[in-house]
Each structure stands twice: as structure tokens, then as C-alpha cells.
């Protein structure tokens, strides 16, 4: 269940086994979430970070892909309840439905904040930011209402990446488009983090580099500060400060997919499902729970982070365990191989901490970040397009995808062409020579400069 990082890795690993595989997802594409912030800040297009699930497995004969949402799981009957069609029976189940954003019960977050968990989330945020910019250009007085103030909640990799990219979008890209009267009105990006540090999982050196670089790019970083409430026009902080802003990006927290609740087992912090050492569900050796939804530990009791490599390695381990069970052998405990941490801060700036104590920062960190994400993207077309787009953006300091495509546009002009009036419809056509005569006299009047003056609108 789920064609994310866990589901794709499991499906690929199952290709070589004598089993029938059904891959279910409620969407028809795999989303590459680490690049979502680039869609939100107009650096990439939505379909650069999404790849058709069917297209990912063009030649896997034992696979059936189904676009369906799992609504319930009957562990005793070994059946999945789907949003449409009959229940789906299984012999083994690999559950990888990921996580969802959580608002921690903060007033106004669910109504007014912009989460960044799905492609539609990223598109919504991008349209909103571009619309705010257009509004600020045509109605400069809206700047006092925070039209161009973006508040980002959460100082983890998502918050840091979004803040850096927003500062770049405003500072380098849109600034070029700003009219003179707006050039002085500096857009603001404010990053709010509850703890005393950014990028908590990184070393002190990388954390300091992130803070330094963001500040240099004009991001206001507020540590040890919480979000108290949000409205359509302001973000109120825990210390009582009110920031006029119409854009709160929510990168502060996630919780396990709510489907965890229908498993009837103990849930750990963040609603995550506790699993046995081989990632199977306690009491159900035929069910494996992997990725963001699982509360797996590293053997010393420390929970594994909710990261893509944890999901894909866990999924491959689940497939190995199924193979062992099918042969009547015992499964082994899951051991996560930590491949390090990376976060991009802005143009020519990223931090990368790799196994063996290797730390890269600045331009080297940035190049390694770009190379790794390019390699991990699914599909040759997406890799090629993203590489070319990044090259173009770098050379031109621009952003190509600055169009606002309304999802529910007003009917187009042609569709709304009014019907002729009844009198006109029944009026017999004027003879051709009369019409030609009117055109000739209009041309003569124009040449003589006597044509009526009207408003010119482009
Ligand atoms: C903005 C952002 C940036 C990130 N950056 C990084 C990064 O730089 N590096 C990193 O390692 N990790 C990063 N992560 C985390 C990483 O993406 C996750 O850890 C990883 O996606 C987890 O994989 P998964 O398979 O558990 O879930 P996902 O990849 O989220 O896949 C879950 C799939 O299940 C489907 N699904 C959900 N519910 C149902 C249902 N009821 N029925 C059917 N289908 C369902 C969803 O549509 C989705 O396709 C980032 C995450 C986000 C949101």
C-alpha cells in the first residue's frame, strides 16, 4: 500500500520473486517530496517531481497497479477495504502509506497555513505566493498587511530549504520584476523554530552554517519561538509578537498516516505503528509496516528518522523477510544503514554529512546535494528536465515556472461569447457593397485623423 519511497522499493524487489504483486496508491504518481519546495518556489514544474506509477514499472509481469485508496484493513480476514470495488484479499501486506502534516492543535493552522506534503500543496503555495506578488504590484498599500511577508514554521530541513528558496525567489527573481515604487519595500521571510537550533539532526558546524547563510540572504531567523495562532492576515508568535502576513508555510510537524489507527495496535509518538525487529506487525507476521508510518528502532531503542532511505531500506527488508517466510525460514531483524544527512540552504550552499565523518558545506555541499537528488529522481525524463532546468535557473538567476494556473478558472472569453440579440438574429444581412462602403469611410476618417479617440487597453 503506497507508491512512495517504501512502496516503489518493495515493488522493485518483488519483481524477482514468484508472487503476484498489487501496488495500490490513491494517486497515479510517485511523488519525490525532497524537491517539493522547488515546485512551491517556482524553480520546478509539478510534473518534474511526479512520476507515473505505471510508467515506473513498464516491464514487471507479476505486477498489477491500481489507483485506489485503502479505507480499512481487516487483519483477521486478511483483506483491504478500498474506496471503490470489492475488498482486496492478500497473503502478505507491506504497508507504506507515509505520513500527513499535523497542526499540533494550534488555532488557525489547519485553515490558513500552507502545508508542504503533496504536489497539490506545493502548487497551491506557489500560486498563492505569485498572486501575493501580483497584488503587491497592483495594490502597494497591501504591503502593510504583510502581502509579501512569508512566515515559515519549523527549522528542520524543510523549513530551512523553503526559507532559503523564498528569500531567493523574492530577493533575486521577483525583485527584477518589481516596479520602482515597490523596489524599496523589502519582502520578508521569517523562519520560526521552537527549539534553540536549526537542523537539529546535523552537527554544530552545519547548524551554524545554515544559520549564517540564511541570515546573509535576508531570512529573519527566530529561535526558541513558537507559533501561537494564525489568521488570514497575521501570525501571532508565542512571545506576543504579531507579524502581519498572509503566508504561513507549515514545515513544523508530521504524524503517521491515520490508517495506522485501524490496525488496533499500540501507537507511538506521532501516531506511528510499533513494529517487531523484522518490521512485521506484532501478532501478524504476514503484515509489514515500513517508512514514515512505522516506529522502528535502530537496535539501541532510538527511533529511526522519517526519511526516504529508511522507507526504501525497510521495504527491501520486508521483501527479504517475505522470501524467508515462503521458504520456511526465520526472518532477520532490520538494520538501517545510515547514509548521512543533507540539506540545501540556497544557491551554492548546502550542508552534507556523510558516513565516515565526511562533512561538506558551501558549494561542495551544494553540488553533492544536486547530484544525489538528481540520481534519486524516478525516471530518465524527469532527471533530464530537472538537470536542464537547474542549469537554466543557475545561469539566468531566474525561475521559469512563474505562471499562475488557476485550477478553477472562469469560463474563457470564447466560451462566454454572448448570443446575438433577437433583433440582430432576424435582421437580414446588409448588402456587401454597403458594408464595404462603411469600411472605406472609416479608413478615410482615420487617415484624416478624425477618428473618434477612445481608451486603449492592452
Ligand atoms: C517536503 C518534504 C521534504 C523531504 N525531504 C527529504 C529529504 O531531503 N531527504 C529524505 O531522506 N527525506 C525527505 N523527506 C521525507 C521522505 O519523503 C519520507 O520519509 C518518505 O517519503 C517516506 O516514504 P513512505 O514510503 O513511507 O511514504 P511516501 O513516500 O509519502 O508514500 C506514501 C504513499 O502512500 C500513498 N497513500 C497514502 N495513504 C494511502 C491510502 N489510504 N491508500 C492508498 N495510498 C495511500 C500516498 O499517496 C503516497 O504515494 C521529505 C518529506 C517532505 C514532505
Residue 332 main-chain phi, psi, to 5 deg: -105, 160
d(CA 432, CA 294): 78
141 and 258 Cβ atoms separated by less than 8 Å: no
Dist. CA 192 → ligand 1 center (Å) = 24
Q: What is the pLDDT of residue 183?
A: 59
- Sign of the CA dihedral running 217, 218, 223, 225: negative
pTM for the complete prediction? 0.87
Dist. CA 51 → ligand 1 center (Å) = 14
Q: What is the pLDDT of residue 34?
A: 96
- Sign of the CA dihedral running 363, 365, 371, 376: negative
Convert the pLDDT of each residue in 321-343 to its tens digit. 999 999 999 999 999 999 899 99
The helix (run of H) or strand (run of E) holding residue 14 is: helix 5-14
Q: What would the mean pLDDT of 163-180 be, rounded to a whole number?
A: 80
d(CA 241, CA 262): 41
d(CA 303, CA 324): 25
Q: Is 162 helix (H, G, I), strand (E, B) or coil?
A: helix
Ligand 1, atom 23: closest residue by C-alpha? 5
Residue 221 main-chain phi, psi, to 5 deg: -100, 125
For ligand 1, say whether the CB of 308 is within 6 Å of any of its atoms: yes
Q: How far is CA 28 from CA 35, 121, 238, 262, 457, in A?
A: 18, 16, 41, 24, 43
d(CA 103, CA 230): 11
- Identify the band that residue 410 occupies on the pLDDT scale cut at 50, 70 and 90: very low
Q: Cα 262 to the chain's mean position, in Å?
A: 27
- Identify the band that residue 457 occupies on the pLDDT scale cut at 50, 70 and 90: very low
Q: What is the pLDDT of residue 451?
A: 39
Q: What would the mean pLDDT of 352-376 be, rounded to a whole number?
A: 94
57 and 78 Cβ atoms separated by less than 8 Å: no
- Identify the band that residue 172 occupies on the pLDDT scale cut at 50, 70 and 90: confident
Ligand 1, atom 27: closest residue by C-alpha? 98
Convert the pLDDT of each residue in 382-403 to its tens digit. 999 999 999 998 888 777 677 8
The least confident of 16-20, 163-167, 256-260, 375-379 is 375-379
**Average pLDDT of the chain?**
87
d(CA 8, CA 51): 11
d(CA 70, CA 265): 18
Q: What is the pLDDT of residue 328?
A: 94
- Identify the band that residue 308 occupies on the pLDDT scale cut at 50, 70 and 90: very high
Dist. CA 35 → ligand 1 center (Å) = 12
Pick the more confident residue, 457 or 62. 62
205 and 164 Cβ atoms separated by less than 8 Å: no
d(CA 47, CA 25): 17
| pLDDT > 70 in the chain, percent | 86
Q: What would the mean pLDDT of 31-56 be, rounded to a whole number?
A: 95
Evaluate if residue 123 carries a pLDDT over 70: yes
Active site residue 161: yes
Please provide the DSSP assignment of 188-240 as one string: EEEEE-SSS-SSTTS-HHHHHHHHHHHHHTTEEEE-S--EEEE-SSEEEETTS
For ligand 1, say whether the CB of 249 is within 6 Å of any of its atoms: no
Pick the more confident residue, 448 or 150. 150
- Identify the band that residue 144 occupies on the pLDDT scale cut at 50, 70 and 90: confident
Tally the residues of the chain: 458
For ligand 1, say whether the CB of 56 is within 6 Å of any of its atoms: no
- Identify the band that residue 178 occupies on the pLDDT scale cut at 50, 70 and 90: low
d(CA 71, CA 388): 40
d(CA 260, CA 291): 12
Q: Which of 69, 76, 79, 161 is catalytic?
A: 161
Q: What is the pLDDT of residue 184?
A: 56
Ligand 1, atom 19: closest residue by C-alpha? 307
Q: What is the pLDDT of residue 181?
A: 55
d(CA 273, CA 267): 5
For ligand 1, say whether the CB of 306 is within 6 Å of any of its atoms: yes
- Identify the band that residue 182 occupies on the pLDDT scale cut at 50, 70 and 90: low
Q: Give the other-Cβ count within 10 Å of 34's Cβ.
A: 22
Evaluate if residue 170 carries a pLDDT over 60: yes
Q: Ligand 1: which of 46, 255, 308, 366 to mutate, judged by most atoms within 8 Å of the beta carbon? A: 308
Using the atom order of ligand 1, give the atom closest to the CA of residue 292. Answer: 26
147 and 244 Cβ atoms separated by less than 8 Å: no
How far does the chain reach from its first CA to its final CA, in angstroms?
52
Q: What is the pLDDT of residue 427?
A: 44
The least confident of 1-10, 258-267, 361-370, 420-429 is 420-429
160 and 345 Cβ atoms separated by less than 8 Å: yes
Pick the more confident residue, 418 or 311. 311
- Identify the band that residue 453 occupies on the pLDDT scale cut at 50, 70 and 90: very low
Using the atom order of ligand 1, give the atom closest to the CA of residue 259. Answer: 41
Q: What is the pLDDT of residue 408?
A: 58
Residue 14 main-chain phi, psi, to 5 deg: -75, -10
- Identify the band that residue 298 occupies on the pLDDT scale cut at 50, 70 and 90: confident
Pairing verdict, β 113-115 and 247-250: parallel
Convert the pLDDT of each residue in 285-294 to its tens digit. 999 999 999 9
Evaluate if residue 192 carries a pLDDT over 70: yes
Amino acid at each position: 500500500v503506497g507508491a512512495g519511497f517504501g512502496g516503489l522499493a518493495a515493488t522493485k524487489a518483488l519483481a524477482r520473486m514468484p508472487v503476484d504483486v498489487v501496488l495500490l496508491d490513491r494517486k497515479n504518481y510517485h511523488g519525490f517530496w525532497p524537491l517539493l519546495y522547488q515546485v512551491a518556489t517556482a524553480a520546478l514544474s509539478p510534473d518534474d517531481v511526479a512520476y507515473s506509477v505505471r510508467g515506473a514499472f513498464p516491464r514487471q509481469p507479476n505486477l498489477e497497479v491500481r489507483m485506489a485508496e485503502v479505507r480499512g484493513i481487516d487483519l483477521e480476514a486478511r483483506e483491504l477495504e478500498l474506496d471503490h470495488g470489492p475488498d482486496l484479499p492478500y497473503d502478505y501486506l507491506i504497508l507504506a502509506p507515509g505520513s500527513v502534516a499535523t497542526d499540533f492543535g494550534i488555532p488557525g493552522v489547519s485553515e490558513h497555513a500552507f502545508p508542504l506534503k503533496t504536489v497539490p500543496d506545493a502548487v497551491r503555495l506557489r500560486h498563492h505566493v505569485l498572486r501575493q506578488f501580483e497584488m503587491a504590484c497592483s495594490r502597494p498599500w497591501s504591503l502593510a498587511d504583510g502581502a509579501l511577508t512569508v512566515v515559515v514554521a519549523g527549522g528542520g530541513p524543510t523549513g530551512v530549504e523553503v526559507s532559503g528558496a523564498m528569500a531567493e525567489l523574492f530577493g533575486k527573481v521577483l525583485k527584477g520584476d518589481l516596479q520602482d515604487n515597490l523596489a524599496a519595500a523589502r519582502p520578508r521571510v521569517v523562519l520560526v523554530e521552537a527549539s534553540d537550533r536549526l537542523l537539529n539532526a546535523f552537527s554544530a558546524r552545519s547548524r551554524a552554517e545554515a544559520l549564517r547563510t540564511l541570515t546573509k540572504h535576508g531570512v529573519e531567523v527566530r529561535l526558541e519561538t513558537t507559533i501561537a495562532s494564525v489568521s488570514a492576515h497575521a501570525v501571532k508568535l508565542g512571545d506576543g509578537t504579531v507579524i502581519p502576513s498572509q503566508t504561513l508555510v507549515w514545515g513544523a510537524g508530521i504524524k503517521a498516516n491515520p490508517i495506522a489507527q485501524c490496525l488496533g495496535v499500540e501507537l507511538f509518538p506521532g501516531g506511528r505503528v510499533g513494529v517487531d525487529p523484522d518490521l512485521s506487525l506484532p501478532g501478524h507476521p504476514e503484515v509489514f509496516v515500513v517508512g514514515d508510518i512505522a516506529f522502528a528502532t535502530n537496535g539501541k531503542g532510538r527511533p529511526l528518522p522519517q526519511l526516504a532511505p529508511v522507507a526504501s531500506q525497510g521495504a527491501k527488508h520486508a521483501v527479504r523477510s517475505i522470501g524467508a517466510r515462503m521458504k520456511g525460514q526465520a526472518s532477520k531483524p532490520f538494520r538501517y544503514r545510515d547514509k548521512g544527512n543533507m540539506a540545501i540552504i540556497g544557491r551554492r550552499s548546502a550542508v552534507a554529512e556523510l558516513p565516515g565523518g565526511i562533512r561538506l558545506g558551501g558549494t561542495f555541499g551544494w553540488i553533492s546535494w544536486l547530484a544525489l537528488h538528481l540520481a534519486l529522481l524516478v525516471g530518465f525524463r524527469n532527471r533530464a528536465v530537472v538537470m536542464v532546468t537547474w542549469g537554466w535557473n543557475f545561469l539566468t538567476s531566474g525561475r521559469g515556472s512563474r505562471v499562475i494556473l488557476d485550477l478553477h478558472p472562469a469560463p474563457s472569453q470564447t466560451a462566454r461569447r454572448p448570443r446575438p440579440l433577437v433583433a440582430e438574429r432576424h435582421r437580414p444581412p446588409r448588402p456587401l457593397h454597403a458594408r464595404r462602403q462603411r469600411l472605406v469611410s472609416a479608413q478615410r476618417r482615420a487617415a484624416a485623423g478624425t477618428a473618434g479617440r477612445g481608451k486603449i487597453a492592452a
